[in-house]
Amino acid sequence: MMGGQVVVVWIGGVCGVGKTAVAKECSKQVGNSCFLDADDFHSVENKNKMKLGIPLSDSDRKPWLDELIRVIQQRAVDSQREARQGYCIFCACSVLKLAYRQYLRNALRQSVTKCIFILLTGSTQVLLHRLNSRQGHFMSPNLLSSQLEALELLSEEEKALGDEELDTSDQTISQLVSSIIQKIGLVES
């Protein structure tokens, strides 16, 4: 990354696909970066809905997306104030729909150099196994089917911008992280 650039890498996909683990590890491997888990910015009401297995609506997600935008804009300002030699924000966030990805990209256009969306996918069987093995997460495994229904894979336009889909079914976190870092042209620290 060139000096002063701020790149946001959205690691997206349905629940259980490995967004958080992959985004955290990317952040560890790349210098001048941070990790954000979009789940941390959900309202109490949204978390309660998900705990009960109730899918979120677009209107439930709007304030959440706006809060993510606010936080990322602040991180971008902070990184530029600290005169970093480029800064990368890895955000684990479902970004299930094209409209959400477009909204985030457009809202951040003036604040960051680039938004890149990496959409992680996986077989339903693997995802269910991961969800049923997960401890202490507020999201009900029952939401997987509604998330799979809502998921919109990347459009050709998104792929032309450098966004990518990666299947996590048979890859380790390390393999996925290496692919992502290579894809987005960042140097491992």
Mean local confidence (pLDDT), 33-45: 95
What is the distance between the alpha carbons of residues 11 and 69, in angstroms, rounded to a whole number? 15
> Domains (ranges, CATH) in the chain?
6-171 (3.40.50.300)
Report pLDDT for 115.
Answer: 96
How does pLDDT run across 62-107, given as a tens digit for each residue? 999 999 999 999 999 888 777 667 889 999 999 999 999 999 999 9
pTM passes above 0.75: yes
Identify whether the C-beta of residue 63 lies closer than 8 Å to the C-beta of residue 100. no
3-class state of residue 8 by DSSP: strand
Residue 189, pLDDT above cutoff 60: no
3-class state of residue 99 by DSSP: helix
